[in-house]
């Protein structure tokens, strides 16, 4: 891929690695590329990070044809630059675009664009414990038109952000509110796609949970509001009677890269993983009688986030004495160990950026 480079007049001062937060700082450069029916993919450019100019009639502003991804870059002690399973993000991005009738970006082009930008911005990859460079690829409709139809033009972009922990609790347990008023997704909808509309629709429940003192929302299915699906920004897993139970990816749950990695790790360690519909009643009963041993969320941003408390219809259950469980901690240590190059990558998950 031929990429045009436009140098910045002045580079930014890098932030304190021990006070990064999440998504607050952005690097010097961003990647942009356009697609039109006439030219296909063209105009690949690395340019200074800055505003994007849009016509008021740009279709994304009206009809929300927009998709995005999230992954991270890590720097090892030896100085290697690693991505974690970027081909999985590329496949999911393509599936999201298909669902929203958007042009599909070839998977190899997706990975190549990320690697090229990360290589340019390698000095922005932080090295403090628990930090990384968050990568946000996204695409949106750019045709100037009012009227519902697939756009005839799109812009693909990548921005980068040095980050610390996603949740203020870090790797400590979070409190989760089980949402039974609003719904996130139903079969036939866009629940499996990573598109902004899904997240916009979830904010009302998130605000509600935060007002009640909870960090995140656990969604139930959109038809019966009976079966556990996923947490707002993570897939959810529960250890009940020594078995790990998680919702199946059957159209309403985001097929998480971390979720898939965790399932593979657990199976390699000899654990039974059940991808099945788990009712909230079964989950709460397991919590009452002590059979719910651990619970955690999985996602790129937080990696593994222990769940210490669930609240459903006014009833709260505390999980594992509000402590990070042994299996949860082992998963976090193993995944981050592979991502930062501290542990052997037996699954060949990492991708080295040259």
Query: pLDDT at residue 93 above 70?
Result: yes
CATH homologous superfamily for the domain 174-339? D-amino Acid Aminotransferase, subunit A, domain 2 (3.20.10.10)
Would you list the domain boundaries of the chain? 4-163, 174-339
Is residue 168 predicted with pLDDT exceeding 70? no
Task: Decide if 317 contacts 267 (C-beta within 8 A).
Answer: no
Length of the chain: 354
pLDDT, one tens digit per residue, over 205-219 is 999 999 999 999 999
- Give me the CATH code for the 4-163 domain, please: 3.30.470.10
d(CA 126, CA 61): 34
State the pLDDT at residue 169: 60
Maximum Cα interatomic distance, the chain, rounded to a whole number of Å: 63
Q: Enter the tokens of residue 259.
A: 């979720």
Token code pair at residue 265: 């790790």
What pLDDT is stored for residue 302 in this prediction? 86
pLDDT in tens, 256-312: 999 999 999 999 999 999 999 999 999 999 999 999 999 999 999 889 999 999 999
Beta strands in the chain (DSSP E): 4-5, 29-36, 40-48, 66-68, 71-75, 81-84, 132-141, 153-163, 174-179, 216-220, 228-231, 234-240, 243-246, 273-275, 292-299, 303-312, 315-318, 350-353
Q: What is the dihedral of CA 195, 310, 260, 268, to 10 degrees?
A: 180
pTM of the model as a whole: 0.96
**Residue 171 confidence (pLDDT):** 77
First-to-last C-alpha distance (Å) of the chain: 15
* pLDDT of res. 232: 85
Among candidate residues 48, 96, 91, the one with its CA nearest the CA of residue 68 = 96
Compute the average pLDDT of residues 308-324.
Answer: 97
- Tokens read off for 97: 């675009």
Cα(294)–Cα(288) distance, rounded to whole angstroms?
A: 13
What is the band of 345 on the pLDDT scale with cuts at 50, 70, 90?
very high
Exposure pattern of 79-99 as b/e (b: 16+ CB <10 Å)? eebbbbbbebbbebbbebbeb
Q: How many CB atoms lie within 10 A of CB 122?
A: 14
């Amino acid at each position: 891929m031929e990429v045009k480079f436009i140098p910045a007049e002045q580079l930014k001062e890098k932030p304190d690695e021990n006070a990064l937060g999440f998504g607050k700082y952005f690097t010097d450069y961003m990647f942009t590329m356009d697609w039109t029916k006439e030219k296909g993919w063209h105009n690949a450019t690395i340019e200074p990070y800055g505003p994007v100019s849009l016509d008021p009639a740009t279709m994304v502003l009206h009809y929300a044809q927009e998709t995005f991804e999230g992954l991270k870059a890590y720097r090892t002690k030896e100085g290697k630059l690693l991505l974690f399973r970027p081909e999985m993000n590329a496949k999911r991005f393509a599936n999201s675009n298909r669902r929203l009738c958007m042009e599909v970006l070839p998977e190899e082009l997706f990975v190549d664009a990320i690697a090229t930008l990360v290589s340019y911005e390698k000095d922005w990859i932080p090295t403090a414990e628990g930090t990384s460079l968050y990568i946000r690829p996204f695409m949106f409709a750019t045709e100037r038109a009012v009227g519902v139809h697939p756009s005839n033009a799109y812009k693909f972009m990548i921005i980068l952000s040095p980050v610390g922990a996603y949740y203020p609790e870090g790797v400590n347990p979070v409190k989760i509110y089980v949402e039974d008023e609003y719904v996130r997704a139903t079969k036939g909808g866009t629940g499996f796609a990573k598109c902004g509309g899904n997240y916009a629709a979830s904010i009302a429940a998130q605000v509600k949970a935060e007002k009640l003192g909870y960090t995140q929302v656990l969604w139930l299915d959109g038809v019966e509001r009976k079966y556990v699906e996923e947490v707002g920004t993570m897939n959810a897993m529960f250890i009940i009677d020594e078995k790990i139970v998680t919702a199946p990816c059957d159209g309403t749950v985001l097929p998480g890269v971390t979720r898939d990695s965790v399932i593979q790790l657990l199976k390699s360690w000899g654990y039974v993983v059940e991808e099945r519909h788990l009712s909230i009643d079964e989950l709460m009963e397991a919590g009452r009688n002590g059979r719910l041993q651990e619970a955690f969320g999985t996602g790129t941003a937080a990696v593994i986030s222990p769940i210490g408390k669930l609240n459903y219809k006014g009833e709260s259950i505390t999980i594992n004495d509000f402590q990070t469980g042994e299996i949860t901690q082992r998963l976090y240590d193993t995944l981050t160990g592979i991502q930062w190059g501290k542990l052997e990558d037996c699954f060949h998950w990492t991708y080295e950026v040259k």
